[in-house]
Amino acid sequence: MGKQKLETVEQFEPIVQEVKHFLLLKHSLTCPISRAAFEEYEKFVEDHPEVAAYYLYVQEARPLSNYIAETFSIKHESPQALLFANGSVKWHTSHWSITYDELKRQIIG
């Protein structure tokens, strides 16, 4: 499946409705911690193509980022990884906790 960039609420909503399980990463283009997390996310997605994976750049998709925080009652952080299952957030973490091994443990088992 690979990863797909999201920029708008209009892009995001159908995914929440139609994709049973997916991973979303909120990425800041200016933060070194976020860059490290994005690299971990990219390695994970590359090794697990069966996982539906999406990302957004906080600076370019602020309304979507805020919408996700408000709709799912999860304080915004960046970087932030969110695992969605059946229309809700099953798991989330941020900053240095976003590692290949943690993503694998939470998503693959």
> 54: which strand partners?
4, 24
Q: What does the angle CA 106 – CA 92 – CA 89 come to, to the nearest 5 degrees? A: 95
Q: What is the DSSP letter of 30?
A: T
70-100 pLDDT, tens per residue? Answer: 999 999 999 999 999 999 999 999 999 999 9
Task: Give the amino acid at 43.
Answer: K
pLDDT of residue 67: 98
Cut 0.85: pTM above it: yes
Residue with tokens 């911690």: 33
